[in-house]
């Protein structure tokens, strides 16, 4: 269709946008003949401009405007903005199979845009979540005209940290997301009634997370999203996931965004490390955000106006550097700009963890009764030599409920963000280990790990860990958490079941975090065997969790050891204690 003035769309825009023109459903052919369609926003003037491409499965007209400025805003700043429905979504042709075609289709789209008469030949990309993965997959193919990418809240690895985490299925997210994806499939078939019914099911998902077996959800939308059942059938890393993941080998400048309470937070640090090793120009911005939107309000806490997202302005500055050469490259120093929660300030680091960080071990101890917040569990910097182990009964029919945390995509459906953990800590199947009152500010920055010596009376078990901040006025706020499934503790592609009641050493990654425990606060660790529905439930047997029914669930006695021979301990990356100056960061 012919280009129109964007103001003709009857949307309120600033005066500078009046000359931005808009063309919809532009056909872009792929190498296999499939046609994908895009909306193109043309900047003011008749010259040529660098292009900015977004490829998404969520409706190109929306263009992820729940996080970013409208495409016309970027067009008004001198970019030819191309927003495309990916294969099998919206008005693009063929069928949708998540991630499978994004690398090649992304390559073909970039090269088509690069030779557009209005394009200078330089192409950048932007978008978050799945739209971040479409960038990474395309970048891994090294399109000649791809000049810069700006992925947010995403992962290159579509197994670890996206679908599974240390062998446990990220149940709430994957179940909700699959249902959400099914709506567009119904629309494309012309079944508007079913699409409306599926949309109305979204708010009811919390009541469906207890469905057993997990595959029982197939009665709702299995015909629309067959890939969901494939995910359940591939609980280990292997060729299935490798074929869908991006190879961390691109060399274009990369501006990444992540959130401490987003499901993909850890993946951003993996990407940063890989690009840093290759010497790729990059910046990683990590705020106190959940998946969306990126604001100062995250669950139960307000991190203040300084926590607001600056993604639009920073993105344009980044693109102006590499696509227009209007901003000196010297202004970017491949840093991590990260938000320190607690003190609620931004800092910059040249490495992660920041230089000067020292890992300090905090040992678990209790005298044999760390059960609940009423127990005697403690975190100490000195090891207790002869300490009795802790025991609790894990009942998969009554799992520990998820309160906040890292998930996606709405807190009313999938637990995420900050939340008071006291309701969880009243349970006897949650071990609670608390440190002394902080006499000065203790700032941590880096990856949190737990070495746990534990045994189970079952054939399999999950062990969960959660780091929390105990506020002096009552609230107990979650910071980060982790899980390990015993059968996958070695990271192998095949199950390695434990011997019942045999002591096993586990390394649990709780993720990356930057946080200051203020004076009067306490550092606390929770240990249990479930975090539901954030993760699926372990049946305590050798049965595949996705196939387990109610009758297959078995209770088990879990034992946690913390003595001289089996020193369970929390590894905290401490950046500072007190108000000292650190060498590798600057407060702003």
SS3 per-residue string spanning 479-501:
EEEEEEEHHHCCCCCCCCCCCCC
Largest CA distance in the chain: 79
Active site residue 529: no
Of residues 39, 108, 157, 262, which has the active-site annotation? Answer: 262
For residues 367 and 260, give the distance between their C-alpha atoms in angstroms, rounded to a whole number: 34
DSSP symbol at 418? B
- State both tokens at 274: 């890989």
Helix (H, G, I), strand (E, B) or coil at 121: strand
DSSP state of 48: -
Please, which residues bridge with residue 52 across strands? 81, 124
Q: Which of 101, 145, 291, 515 is catalytic?
A: 291
DSSP 451-476: EEEEEESSS--EEEEEEEEE-TTS-E
In a 13 Å sphere around the CA of 523, the CA atoms on its Cβ side amount to 26
The answer to whether 262 is a known catalytic residue is: yes
Q: Is 129 known to be catalytic?
A: yes
Annotated catalytic residue within 72, 92, 129, 414? 129
User: What stretches of 49-101 show up as alpha helix (H) in DSSP?
Assistant: 71-75
Are the C-beta atoms of 554 and 393 separated by less than 8 Å? no
* Strand ranges for 251-307 from DSSP E: 254-259, 282-287, 297-298, 301-302
User: Residue 426's CB: how many other CB atoms inside 10 A?
Assistant: 12
- Which of 426, 406, 364 is CA-nearest to residue 261? 406
Report the distance separating Cα 275 and Cα 213, nearest Å: 41
What is residue 316's three-state secondary structure? Answer: helix
Active site residues: 129, 262, 291
């Amino acid at each position: 269709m012919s280009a129109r003035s964007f103001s003709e769309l009857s949307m309120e825009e600033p005066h500078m946008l009046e000359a931005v023109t808009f063309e919809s459903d532009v056909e872009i052919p792929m190498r296999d003949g499939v046609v994908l369609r895009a909306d193109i926003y043309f900047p003011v003037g008749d010259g040529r401009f660098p292009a900015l491409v977004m490829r998404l499965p969520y409706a190109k007209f929306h263009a992820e405007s729940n996080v970013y400025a409208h495409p016309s805003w970027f067009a008004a700043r001198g970019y030819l903005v191309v927003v495309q429905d990916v294969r099998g979504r919206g008005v693009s042709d063929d069928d949708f199979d998540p991630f499978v075609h994004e690398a090649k289709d992304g390559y073909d789209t970039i090269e088509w845009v690069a030779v557009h008469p209005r394009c200078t030949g330089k192409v950048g990309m932007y978008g978050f979540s799945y739209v971040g993965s479409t960038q990474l997959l395309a970048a891994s193919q090294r399109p000649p005209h791809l000049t810069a990418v700006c992925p947010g809240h995403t992962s290159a690895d579509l197994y670890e940290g996206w679908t599974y985490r240390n062998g446990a299925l990220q149940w709430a997210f994957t179940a909700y997301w699959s249902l959400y994806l099914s709506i567009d499939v119904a629309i494309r078939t012309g079944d508007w009634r079913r699409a409306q019914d599926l949309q109305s099911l979204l708010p009811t998902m919390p009541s469906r997370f207890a469905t057993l077996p997990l595959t029982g959800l197939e009665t709702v939308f299995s015909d629309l999203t067959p890939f969901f059942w494939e995910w359940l059938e591939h609980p280990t890393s292997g060729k299935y996931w490798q074929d869908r993941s991006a190879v961390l080998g691109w060399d274009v400048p990369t501006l990444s965004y992540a959130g401490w309470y987003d499901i993909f937070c850890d993946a951003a640090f993996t990407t940063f490390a890989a690009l840093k090793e290759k010497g790729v120009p990059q910046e990683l911005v990590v705020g106190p955000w959940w998946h969306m939107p990126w604001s100062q309000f995250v669950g139960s806490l307000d991190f203040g106006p300084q926590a607001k997202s600056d993604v639009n302005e920073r993105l344009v500055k980044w693109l102006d550097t590499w696509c227009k050469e209007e901003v000196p490259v010297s202004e970017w120093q491949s840093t991590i700009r990260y938000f320190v929660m607690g003190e609620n300030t931004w800092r910059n680091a040249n490495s992660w963890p920041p230089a000067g960080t020292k890992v300090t071990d905090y040992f678990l101890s209790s005298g044999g009764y760390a059960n609940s917040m009423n127990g005697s569990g403690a975190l100490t910097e000195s090891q207790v030599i002869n300490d009795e182990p802790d025991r609790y009964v894990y009942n998969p029919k009554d799992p520990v409920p998820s309160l906040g945390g890292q998930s996606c995509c709405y807190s009313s459906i999938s637990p995420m963000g900050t939340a008071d953990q006291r309701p969880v800590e009243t349970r006897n199947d949650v071990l609670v280990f608390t440190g002394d009152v902080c006499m000065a500010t203790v700032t941590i920055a880096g990856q949190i790990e737990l070495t746990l010596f534990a045994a189970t009376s079952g054939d399999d078990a999950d062990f969960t860990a959660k780091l929390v901040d105990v506020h002096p006025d009552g609230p107990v706020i979650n910071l980060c958490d982790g899980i390990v499934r015993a059968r996958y503790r070695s990271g192998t592609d095949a199950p390695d079941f434990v011997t019942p009641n045999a002591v096993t050493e586990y390394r649990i990654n709780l993720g990356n975090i930057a946080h200051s425990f203020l004076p009067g606060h306490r550092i606390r660790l929770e240990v249990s065997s479930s975090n539901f529905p954030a993760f699926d439930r372990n049946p305590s047997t050798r049965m595949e969790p996705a196939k387990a029914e109610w009758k297959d669930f078995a209770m088990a006695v879990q034992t946690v050891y913390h003595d001289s021979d089996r020193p369970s301990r929390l590894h905290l990356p401490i950046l500072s204690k007190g108000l000292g100056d650190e060498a590798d960061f600057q407060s702003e």
